[in-house]
């Protein structure tokens, strides 16, 4: 009877005390702990009418493994940021050419800002003043290109006309030296019938289209640069007001100060370089005119502009062309031109340039050289042109916030050590070496 009573109590026990996870009520607990396992937790004794006695248990259900609520949002946000990054990178690579043109236009606008500002201060409208300055720059540029082009065209025509004579001289030298029997007619026939000449002509015909596309693209870039620079210069005050309108008053003064420094340094750099180009051109024109070298004005203009506006290697590139032209007249003239270029370069570096650039772009030559290399690595030829004024502007802007102190009057500052200190250092080294030798002898004797 007692066994039957216990069986009846087990059958009447509430099923809510067991945790179900896809399995029927089972009191054996034979399955492994985990999903679908029954967990019994001892519960405190309840009142006699509560159903569970003093030894009763309360069974709870284990929560299944669910994804955190923040994880989907984080994944969506990460994918959105990655997509925005890829889109921005693609857009940047597509617009890199336009951005470089805008940067060049901005520096050109900074360069002509002093001239435009002076004309505007005298009552000329900024648009008209900017237009007049651009007309002057365009006239000088076109004049230089026309003069240089006429010089090159004349030299090319002269070389083509004299080519048969040069070829006869070379053939006669080869025949006398190697006892051969070459003739100009046979060489011309072999050249005209050669396969490589036909391929070269075909490639040249294809290359004409490429050159035409390059020229058209270059003209379009120049038009873009001039338009942006015109708007930057003509609407300079409006642009500054628009930029300051989104900044607090404490930051507006700093922005305007940086703008003025950039205008002074960029304009000063270009004007000082232009003045040095004029002086260099006049000096080289005098030399070339004395040597009776043809196209002396164009060559002098070439030397002046290239040597000043192409940093570091501009001097050597500028001197190569007049040397070559002078060599065709007389080889000794080329040596005269080379000597004059070297002497004038030293005069310019140590006398002329420090005086003209002392108040504009007074930066160390090593810093200028490093900035040109960095600008070339970043933006190519454009970076080489704008590197020096950009570094000069940054140096002037940072120099206003760097606190400087008076340097002590110590000979070591100038690279000299006092004689007494040198003697004392030698005596100390001698005593130290003698002491070390005595200690070593004592240890060996012991």
DSSP 400: T
pLDDT at 79: 94
Helices vs strands, H then E, count in the chain: 15, 2
Q: Quick one: pLDDT band at residue 427, thresholds 50, 70, 90?
A: low
Q: Is residue 313 part of a domain?
A: yes
- Contact status, residue 185 vs residue 164, Cβ threshold 8 Å: no
Q: Quick one: pLDDT band at residue 201, thresholds 50, 70, 90?
A: low
φ/ψ (deg, to 5) at 418: -65, 145
Boundary residue ending a domain (198, 222, 246): 246
Q: Quick one: pLDDT band at residue 80, thresholds 50, 70, 90?
A: very high
Q: What angle do CA 270, 276, 281 make, to 5 degrees?
A: 120
pLDDT at 57: 47
- Condensed to tens digits (0 to 9), the pLDDT of residues 27-54 reads 444 444 444 444 444 444 444 444 444 4
Number of structural domains in the chain? 2
Q: Quick one: pLDDT band at residue 84, thresholds 50, 70, 90?
A: very high
Strands 57-60 and 39-42 turn out to be: antiparallel
Q: Quick one: pLDDT band at residue 86, thresholds 50, 70, 90?
A: very high
Q: Which has more confidence, 279 or 200?
A: 279
pLDDT at 192: 67
Both 241 and 297 in one domain: the answer is: no
Q: Is residue 288 part of a domain?
A: yes
Both 225 and 321 in one domain: the answer is: no
Both 142 and 125 in one domain: the answer is: yes
Both 255 and 398 in one domain: the answer is: yes
Boundary residue ending a domain (228, 246, 264): 246
Poorest-confidence range of 3-12, 141-150, 207-216, 319-328? Answer: 3-12
Q: Is residue 24 part of a domain?
A: no
Full domain range(s) for residue 153: 98-159+181-246
pLDDT at 90: 93
pLDDT at 417: 57
Q: Label each residue of 127-142 as H, E or C.
A: HHHHHHHHHHHHHHHH
pLDDT at 367: 75
Residue 386, pLDDT > 60, answer: yes
Q: Is residue 436 part of a domain?
A: no
Q: Is residue 151 part of a domain?
A: yes
Both 130 and 269 in one domain: the answer is: no
Both 255 and 361 in one domain: the answer is: yes
- Condensed to tens digits (0 to 9), the pLDDT of residues 250-278 reads 788 888 888 887 887 777 777 788 888 88
Both 107 and 128 in one domain: the answer is: yes
Both 242 and 362 in one domain: the answer is: no
Boundary residue ending a domain (246, 264, 286): 246
pLDDT at 85: 94
Q: Quick one: pLDDT band at residue 6, thresholds 50, 70, 90?
A: very low
pLDDT at 440: 57
Both 258 and 397 in one domain: the answer is: yes
Q: Is residue 36 part of a domain?
A: no
Q: Is residue 19 part of a domain?
A: no
pLDDT at 64: 58
Q: Is residue 357 part of a domain?
A: yes
Both 230 and 337 in one domain: the answer is: no
Query: Which whole number is the average pLDDT over 183-192?
Result: 73
Q: What is the mean pLDDT of the chain?
A: 74
Both 263 and 377 in one domain: the answer is: yes
Which is nearest to 290 in space by CA: 343, 333, 328?
333
Both 366 and 399 in one domain: the answer is: yes
Q: Which has more confidence, 263 or 427?
A: 263
């Amino acid at each position: 009877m007692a066994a039957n009573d216990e069986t009846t109590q087990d059958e009447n026990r509430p099923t809510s005390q067991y945790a179900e996870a896809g399995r029927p009520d089972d009191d054996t607990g034979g399955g492994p702990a985990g999903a679908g396992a029954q967990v019994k937790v001892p519960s405190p004794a309840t009142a006699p009418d509560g159903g569970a006695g003093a030894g009763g248990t309360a069974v709870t259900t284990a929560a299944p493994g669910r994804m955190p609520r923040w994880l989907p949002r984080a994944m969506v946000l990460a994918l959105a940021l990655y997509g925005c990054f890829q889109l921005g990178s693609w857009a940047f690579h597509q617009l890199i050419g336009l951005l470089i043109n805008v940067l060049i236009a901005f520096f050109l606008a900074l360069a002509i800002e002093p001239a435009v500002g002076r004309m505007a201060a005298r009552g000329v409208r900024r648009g008209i003043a900017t237009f007049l300055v651009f007309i002057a720059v365009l006239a000088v540029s076109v004049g230089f290109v026309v003069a240089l082009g006429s010089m090159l065209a004349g030299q090319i025509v002269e070389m083509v006309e004299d080519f048969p004579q040069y070829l006869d001289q070379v053939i006669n030298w080869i025949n006398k030296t190697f006892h051969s029997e070459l003739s100009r007619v046979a060489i011309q026939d072999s050249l005209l019938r050669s396969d490589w000449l036909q391929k070269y002509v075909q490639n040249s015909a294809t290359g004409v289209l490429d050159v035409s596309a390059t020229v058209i693209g270059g003209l379009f870039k120049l038009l873009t640069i001039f338009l942006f620079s015109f708007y930057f210069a003509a609407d300079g005050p409006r642009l500054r007001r628009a930029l300051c309108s989104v900044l607090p008053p404490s930051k507006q003064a700093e922005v305007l100060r940086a703008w003025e420094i950039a205008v002074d340094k960029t304009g000063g750099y270009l004007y000082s370089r232009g003045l040095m180009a004029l002086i260099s051109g006049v000096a080289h024109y005098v030399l070339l005119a004395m040597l009776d070298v043809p196209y002396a004005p164009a060559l002098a203009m070439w030397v002046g502009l290239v040597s000043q506006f192409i940093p570091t290697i501009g001097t050597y590139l500028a001197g190569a062309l007049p040397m070559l032209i002078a060599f065709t007249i007389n080889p000794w003239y080329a040596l005269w031109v080379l000597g004059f270029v070297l002497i004038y370069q030293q005069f310019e570096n140590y006398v002329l340039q420090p005086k003209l650039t002392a108040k504009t772009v007074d930066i160390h030559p090593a810093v200028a050289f490093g900035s040109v290399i960095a600008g070339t690595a970043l933006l190519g030829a454009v970076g080489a042109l704008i590197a020096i004024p950009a570094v000069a502007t940054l140096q002037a802007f940072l120099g206003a916030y760097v606190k400087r102190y008076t340097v002590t009057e110590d000979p070591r500052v100038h690279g000299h050590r006092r004689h007494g200190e040198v003697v004392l250092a030698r005596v100390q080294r001698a005593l130290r070496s003698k002491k070390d030798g005595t200690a070593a002898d004592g240890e060996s004797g012991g």
